Copies of this chain bind each other. A is one copy, B any other.
Amino acid sequence: MAEITLLESIRQGIDEMMAEDARIFVFGEDVGRRGGVFRVTEGLIDKYGPMRVLDAPLAESVIAGACIGAAMNDTLPIAEIQFADFIHPAFNQIVSEAARIRYRSNGDWNVPMVIRAPYGGGIHGALYHSQSIEAFFCHVPGLKVVAPATPYDAKGLLKASIEDPDPVLFLEHKKCYRLIKGEVPEEDYRIPIGKADVKRAGRDMTVISYGLMLHYSLEAAEELAHEGVEVEVLDLRTLRPLDREAILSSVRKTSKALIVHEDNLTGGLGGEIAALISQHAFEHLDGPITRVCAPDVPAMPYSKPLEEAFMPSPAKIADAMRELAAY
């Protein structure tokens, strides 16, 4: 098996699907000649031509809105939002339209589209090129939200997302793009949407995370192993729908839960996870459900010392693990 980066695994996934199914097209700013600002779609325009790899006008609402329309006319659009921070102008189209079309039409219409969005920070992107936006969309029935952390998961989940008959928001962590490498099999495969994955087994506590923070959590877990604490690390992979069973059964086993995300604490996905656990695994809990998240400031600042102060780090996560273990 070949070792490739997260970025390459996503490009491969798109490429292999486009080769198979002529209904698939890519629509976004600079996705053509430029191959996207991160080069995820590099080379696709040469392979599939300008009618299947289209540079969109600089207008996110119609990027989403047009893909919604196209999805209702027997095509399978993959919209690229250049930075997740710029998905907000499309909020109405995604929340009021894409997410509600099946329900409001009583199942008569549906919107099989994928919206790819690079998110997350730690790359000197400052307030508007670093945001974690998942919490907004994890609150929206009718949407699915996927956030893989490894090349293997990303490729398998991307293919599943393109085949999904409902709208899927596919989140790609910018810092993981080239940092995270992994083996990906030659043969065709899928990772089902809605299934979490235990990336490290342990009996002393459950850490629930995703994206870049999943990797930081694994680092911290490694550190605690040397201190004799066996941490189980659960990679959500899909943020909506949440894999309730995976979360609850792990916590019932370890009886302690630590939630880690890069998004702001208040109103973040961690709240929902804590609520699930505290309602449905209450009897098993042997310590307070703890969250390690970004502080409640509008977004990640540019200047290095501020960016570092903002980001949850393996060290901060390890400290929280120790505290919870000691409880």
Contact = CB atoms under 8 A, between A and B. Distances in A.
What is the count of identical protomers in the complex?
2
B278 A289 contact: yes
A259 to B, nearest CB: 8
Interface residues of A, number: 49
Contacts of A272: 266-267, 271
A68 to B, nearest CB: 14
A291 interface: yes
A280 interface: yes
A164 to B, nearest CB: 17
Interface in A292-324: 296-299
A50 interface: no
Nearest to A96: B88
Given A282-B287, A282-B288, 8 more contacts: A88-B91, A88-B95, A141-B264, A141-B266, A240-B266, A267-B272, A271-B271, A282-B289
Contacts of A297: 103, 141
A246 interface: no
B296 A141 contact: yes
Contacts of A260: none
B88 A267 contact: no
A78 to B, nearest CB: 22
Interface in A141-155: 141-142
A70 B3 CA distance: 54
A98 to B, nearest CB: 10
B139 A267 contact: yes
A62 interface: no
Contact of A127 (B89, B100, B140): B100
A92 interface: yes
Contacts of A104: 127, 298
A138 interface: yes
Contacts of A136: 136, 139
A141 B298 contact: yes
Given A88-B96, A92-B88, A100-B299, A270 B266 contact: no
A298 B142 contact: yes
A211 interface: no
Given A274-B274, A275-B291, A287-B282, A267 B138 contact: yes
Contact of A275 (B240, B242, B275, B287): B275
A270 B264 contact: no
Interface string A93-123: 0011001100110000000000000000000
